[in-house]
Structure 1
């Protein structure tokens, strides 16, 4: 019988690595005594309360394909400390006629010992829940003692022995500057742009994060302006996990935050902080109403992919990234509304005229037949190649079972083949999808729909909605229209 061995430890500490080695030896001895065949080892360094474990997922996928007969684990808690996950594994094993054996003899479905499965699953989850509650209780006590328990301290502070201390560098002055600039009337975007243009290190850079951005964002300025830590008070306990078996975060109501006053040196005084909070409240944006600009939501920058903003002083649209952060982000890609309106109106009428041309149908039929023949040939080729690769994979598995090749050689060989098969299946899906879309009837409906419009004399939002998917603007302000229909797009 083929045996899959699953081992898990919670951390990658040296003592737990030794535990993995010891478990491996136990399992090898166990299967040698019974003359079982080893299929594979599945090893995770992860908490047992989560189902998102790389090798557990691989084990489950192999169960679904019935690649082995037995799962061997030290105890049920190695597989799962989550009742829901435990039963998922149990049901999947039963449906695929796979047995589960644990070395502590609690579970052994080979001998019909499955009646205690539910009890052990419940006990392990309750044990994990109790551990989680103790950790939360300990964390709350530390918070109430005024210890900072966040992963990264606020910009301008460092953590020393659990306490926030003001950094001895430029960051303190930057925080004060941000508050004063905002109170003086500057917006969050303008403040962020000025800091970026001056090369001031961002919070991510100061924290030493990998691949930290050098660009300040208005969202970063907003977080700083709202942060009560700058008053010298700790405000923590804003969210918690729903349960030990769920990674979902539960927001705590503000009245239940843990607030400890005067725990560290303040950077911002009460008057400045209060003034900023009042201005923030006054500048809360109203819900947006109908957009009055004709092309809003349709224009896309060819270089950065951002949308466009209308600018009345230019009587046109500019790249949104440029509008927010200037030349550091992109160039303006300015396009005048009047010129764009004339171009789009003329192009839509050309589009309608092309769709109304009697020769268009014959051309469409010829194109469809040619495309369908090409796609069918590609589909047949993919099927043949996949079948050939599967035969090679099965032959390699036979060599593994007969000790012609090692497990490492088998895994190296099949990994490459599996990647090729997956790539071919993705191609096959795209080919079949394209073939399904090559419908003469659908094309005729589109031609008829286009023809029914006649000549359009005025460009309206409704017309744009009917015809246009998006309009891409290049650096010179030239537009490329992507229509909602299948006839190719045109460029001005």
Structure 2
């Protein structure tokens, strides 16, 4: 007696086709796909292993959670067949067609079938048609991306708001698409921030005042008002921070000017964005009602310009954006003591009473610590035989590489566990075991933890990519260290070249030492 053939059903709804009643509901299109696939599997006598469903994802998005779970389960041979409505529902990328449908699936013993376009890897005769479908889908993605960009660029140039969410202080006009109207509740806070700054209050002080009153920050405000706003989950994520105040005070949107296009996509195949030069931004004046009058705006900009003058004319702070708090990870800010000396301090400590225990160090002391450590390393390193240096270098990097890969693997396993838990809860909801509200309550923590881990995976992958580039470039430490031995002082160029970042702690009350952890660029 042969084993029962198990089939995995994969459904996907693209963002532009969505038709949802609420965030937790499947779209009609997804439901139709499920019905079609279930009926087909029943007619073939196949046992349904699981239904994998991605709602609001494009065919070029490789971060689809159900899609990646499907691939993981396929590699583990949990089923024999993958069934889709069309090949494009699985992917629109020719690269993935070749990698999985024509490459790995046959190795794993997985048959791929799509109903509408008759793709079937059991039929070797239609391989070329599958490849042509993949190529056509690839062209479709590129053309669609160009068309969308053209339309959005035209609307931006004409001053229409493009974006899922309005800037804090505004909301989308329900009657005119692309027009913003004032959200009076949030606008009051915006006016207060500008007024306080014009009266001499600092950005950190303003953030602290808002936090002491329990005023939700812009991202939390969106969430509280029912907007489907996604943000990385982190400690104190509902608090106002220095940078939120800083960004608000220099945003021309608050005087009625539409400013967009600050970031642009890297490629139509990814959702990653990169900053665009300021002269490439789209700026149209007088597109909506101003929250801040021109007189107050000009006064605030004048104060910002005065406060933003560098520590010494024409220079930038020695450790600017290089030092981070050892306890909360936030970038430390430079301040000036009454005796004229510069020191670095974690601004998060003053944002809220329990946000961070604080880190603090004077710039001269940190400079001396860096020079001392650099000289110590040069003495120890340059005495070593070159072959021994290279072996040590490679071994150290390989150990770090394995550690980072292991960390990513651990995170991904936990993500898979949360994904499985969410899916099981959803199935219980569909079966009527859980009510809609119970499902939302129970799955909320799973979703939060899953998003947190996905952020950690992305951050760790960046570290791994940087490390692997170092391994490819080889050991260049000798040249660097020889160039900067016996230093007495640092300058900004040296700091940029040698230092990735520095973690600084709080002075030990007994030893009087400040914990310092230097992460070098070599």
- The TM-score range, normalised by the shorter chain, is 0.5 to 0.7
Q: Which residue pairs with 1:9 in the alignment?
A: 12
Q: How many Å separate the matches in 1 of 2:137 and 2:170?
A: 41
| Counterparts in 2 of 1:207 and 1:185: CA distance versus 1, 3 Å | same
Q: CA deviation at 1:120?
A: 0.8
Q: 1:288 aligns with which of 291, 314, 317?
A: 317
Q: Which residue pairs with 1:85 in the alignment?
A: 96
Q: Which residue pairs with 2:61 in the alignment?
A: 50
Contact 2:97–2:134, Cα closer than 8 Å, also in 1: yes
1:155 is paired with a residue of what secondary structure?
A: coil
Per-residue CA deviation, residues 147-172 of structure 1 (Å, 9 max, x unaligned), is: 32333323332322342222334x44
Q: Which residue pairs with 1:65 in the alignment?
A: 76
Contact 1:49–1:81, Cα closer than 8 Å, also in 2: yes
TM-score, length of structure 1 as denominator length: 0.57
Contact 1:51–1:85, Cα closer than 8 Å, also in 2: no
Q: 1:220 aligns with which of 244, 266, 277?
A: 244
Q: Which residue pairs with 1:128 in the alignment?
A: 141
TM-score, length of structure 2 as denominator length: 0.54
Contact 2:86–2:116, Cα closer than 8 Å, also in 1: yes
| Counterparts in 2 of 1:248 and 1:238: CA distance versus 1, 3 Å | same
Contact 1:234–1:260, Cα closer than 8 Å, also in 2: yes
Q: Which residue pairs with 2:184 in the alignment?
A: 168
* Bigger Rg, structure 1 or 2: 1
Q: Which residue pairs with 1:23 in the alignment?
A: 36
Contact 2:7–2:48, Cα closer than 8 Å, also in 1: yes
Q: 2:168 aligns with which of 155, 158, 161?
A: 155
Q: CA deviation at 1:232?
A: 1.0
Instruction: Kindly tell me the number of residue pairs found equivalent between the two proteins.
Output: 346
Contact 2:506–2:514, Cα closer than 8 Å, also in 1: no
Q: 1:254 aligns with which of 243, 260, 278?
A: 278
| Counterparts in 2 of 1:477 and 1:269: CA distance versus 1, 3 Å | farther
Per-residue CA deviation, residues 441-466 of structure 1 (Å, 9 max, x unaligned), is: xxxxxxxxxxxxxxxxxxxxxxxxxx
Q: How many Å separate the matches in 2 of 1:297 and 1:205?
A: 27
Contact 2:261–2:281, Cα closer than 8 Å, also in 1: yes
Q: Which ranges in structure 2 are unaligned for 5 or more consecutive residues?
A: 19-24, 227-232, 363-501, 518-522
Q: How many Å separate the matches in 2 of 1:229 and 1:215?
A: 23
Per-residue CA deviation, residues 306-351 of structure 1 (Å, 9 max, x unaligned), is: 8999996899x99846753363545679999xxxxxxxxxxxxxxx
Q: Which residue pairs with 1:192 in the alignment?
A: 207
Contact 1:69–1:99, Cα closer than 8 Å, also in 2: yes
Contact 2:10–2:82, Cα closer than 8 Å, also in 1: no
Contact 1:6–1:79, Cα closer than 8 Å, also in 2: no
1:104 pairs with 2:116 = yes
Q: CA deviation at 1:218?
A: 1.0
| Counterparts in 2 of 1:307 and 1:259: CA distance versus 1, 3 Å | closer
| Counterparts in 2 of 1:322 and 1:280: CA distance versus 1, 3 Å | closer
Structure 1, 134-143 or 325-334: larger mean CA deviation: 325-334
Aligned Cα root-mean-square deviation (Å): 4.5
Q: CA deviation at 1:119?
A: 1.2
Q: Which ranges in structure 1 are unaligned for 5 or more consecutive residues?
A: 337-468, 485-492
| Counterparts in 2 of 1:114 and 1:470: CA distance versus 1, 3 Å | closer
| Counterparts in 2 of 1:135 and 1:144: CA distance versus 1, 3 Å | same
